[in-house]
Structure 1
């Protein structure tokens, strides 16, 4: 039996090619439209790139003008290699060039404060004053920014201002100076007149001579203290261990504490690498002056505590006593010359200590505590 043939309508046979052509046309239309959009976006993006490039170029020009105008030296490093620098830096580092490994020159001498150096000493024409430069370094990942600035004039102005302030203070205390000299001088004159008396026995003459000598020594010490107060500033500084400074101060006054039956407790938490650029004797002497002040207000069996630690590149020293504290009428003027409540003191010890510490870029302050007074001292440190 033969199967009948299935006939496909003509309309159905022609519909498939027509639908395919229409779909392709729509697809091409969509593709073309999207291509137009992409092209427009590309043109807009290229315009933005050109605009940003132009702005970057102008910014670089402005930055270049600014860097060239800055009087301080500026260096940009990458992995400690010089990428670029401004012309001003050549005043400090004449041979510096791009691609060079950066390091502080070996002939730059560290100054008192961290990041400060003394440069230059002589030239062909003769003596040349040293300059003090400050080096500030900021690290951001592999890149570093360095600024080198001449601060010689600032330091000179600071020292001159300090000196003028001290001279002003001395002028205001002229009456106090006269009083300080008058009593020992009058006593010395009295003893010297007694020595002219031929009727004195040798023993009495010897006693008067010793008393005269003591008064003259007191006058000499007073005059030296006043000169130190006026002109005190570090002259020759060297790297000294912070431990050595604390130990020297303690050794200088330990016997005096023991003779007065007062305990001196030293609590030190200083790394071995903690170094200070100071005059070897001036800072221990300043600490001794503060310790003497604490001892003068202490009673037998009392305790004076000296604590030392490092915080944020500074040596922090506190000296705390168990005395009556500092009267409110004198605490604001405690570091002024001749400011003292002691009958035997000149009132210059703490003034000289303050000048010494500030001359080394440090600070000193005092406040009362529930159990006495606390002196707080900070000094900049330099690690080896």
Structure 2
């Protein structure tokens, strides 16, 4: 099995965009080809992470169109759909294609176009990933988040303000991300006084509906130096699945898919949580940053809230989390989010993160589908 390098990355502006998802995919794909110094004709596999172009736009066959638009013919194309973890699943597929020897140059592009639909329509599309029985009873992802947040706060006697501080931190990081949807700071008071969405969670505990795309270029490590002197390697990657019915879990504050995928990715990398210098976690809701931080071993159960209180996860802290602004500030175009997490870690490890830059040689991404139904964890490190 070949060691896999990432030699190029790109991300479009996230937010409300004009056009179709195919336009956003082409924008990110072209930028990634330029960044990697790879000609379109060199791409052998082209993966597109996308959850719902058919439901949002009535558009199918987007990978084939992207290959045409990029001039990447006759590359093999495939759409990767794993709900809101489609981007992470795309990273897994792209890594597999290179590690297996099936492709020497694989381009991954993730994207979603959502803002042209009403909030109710977009929410309904996203809610389709829940179990039909739960959905029939009105149980949505925001309601899962509210119920879990209440359970966590009460079980561990954590202050409600700790969740608001996650939003404040990630908005602060987003200010310095030129591609983030929201580039404004907020206060704890603003977050705490915003409208209730799913008690105890309020408006600023939730990520926005977003358009956008991101891309990464994968190749064998032995080929990477033909294109660049500096690159990032995929040290470990793994995926796991938890129960589809959330109430069947023994403890709703434990994300089993995060725990399992994290352990497997660490084992593959020959590392542990103590080796991670920077992480991008799937903060679709603020409570998820706590649950993933604990599931990945950064904190003991019930202690992630202490990390935000003590400044451990801020940009100048011991373990910066969501330096990009996270889904909370950067935005959450479903199929693009996991890829954009990889872009942020790539830029951090390459020293290309600008004002967001932290001191890092090893980074981690955790991309979550649904409410932990499926998870992909990736450990990346500076190429040696």
TM-score (norm. length: structure 2): 0.25
The structure with the largest strand share of the pair is 1
User: Is the radius of gyration larger for structure 1 or structure 2?
Assistant: 1
Q: Relative contact order, CA 8 A, sep 6+: which one is greater? A: 2
